[in-house]
Amino acid sequence: MKYIAIEYLLRITSEEYIDKLISNKTEDTILKYLSSRLLTYNNNLVAEMIARNEKSSDYFLFIGELIILNIKYGVKKYSDFIREHLTIPELFNQEYSNLDITLQLRKLKNVSLIGEVTDLLLTAYSKDFLDRDDVWGLKGSLDNVFMIMCKENPEQVKQYMEKLLNADQNNDEFIFKCNYFLSLCEETLISLSVNDGCWTFQDAIKYGSAKKSL
């Protein structure tokens, strides 16, 4: 019944009114429901979820919700966990097996998180990392994130990939993946240049052919 009431308030009032529902006495389930229903960023809601996570014995309390909202705190908390345990939460123990938090990483699209996402990439392709699922595991989620970022913010992602490739890397799989993301960025930049009139279509074909021959 309370969810119906909240839904009604969301429909007939501005989302700012919801601030009155958020306090240190609001149930966790209500905060989770609000985070999934609000259409705009709400400082009070995010602050309350972070504060409760910091005090909670539940390591992942609200972390999935914060990740979906593209909040750095949530991504960092996830990253710290996988670096320490060298696996994803869902494979760590039975308690976390139904979290689906690794899949929620696919919602990341804010390029301001490129540093955090790159750290996840380094961990995912480290030789001791236990999650080897390329589709439903961390690698699959990161593929989704980087493909979005490569299309929407190619310059920033390109800089990070070049920096990674210039470092002393001895992991062929990781190098291949970085080169793949780099190529996506370059394809996007070519497309943007063609659309802006800076390149002719023939110039783009010549450039692509030259890259493939390298």
Mean pLDDT, consecutive 10-residue segments, the chain of 214 residues?
Answer: 74 72 91 86 93 97 97 98 97 93 96 96 95 94 97 95 87 94 95 65 52 52
- Residue 82 CA neighbour count, 13 Å, CB half: 29
Mean of per-residue pLDDT scores for the chain: 88
Beta-carbon contacts of 23 under 8 Å, excluding residues fewer than 6 positions away, are 48
Query: Does residue 204 contact residue 190 with C-beta atoms inside 8 Å?
Result: yes
Enter the DSSP assignment of 14: -
What is the H or E stretch that residue 27 is in?
none
Checking 92-97 for CB contacts under 8 A at 24+ apart, the result is 96/60
pLDDT of residue 7: 76
What is the longest distance spanned by two Cα atoms in the chain? 63
pLDDT of residue 19: 82
Note the pLDDT tens digit of each residue in 170-212: 899 999 999 999 999 999 999 887 666 555 545 555 555 555 5
pLDDT of residue 169: 74
Quick one: CA dihedral 210, 208, 112, 85, positive or negative? negative
Radius of gyration for the alpha carbons in the chain, expressed in angstroms and rounded: 21
Residue 125 vs residues 51, 86, 213: alpha-carbon distances, Å: 32, 10, 27
* Among the listed residues 79, 77, 159, the one whose alpha carbon sits nearest the alpha carbon of residue 111: 159
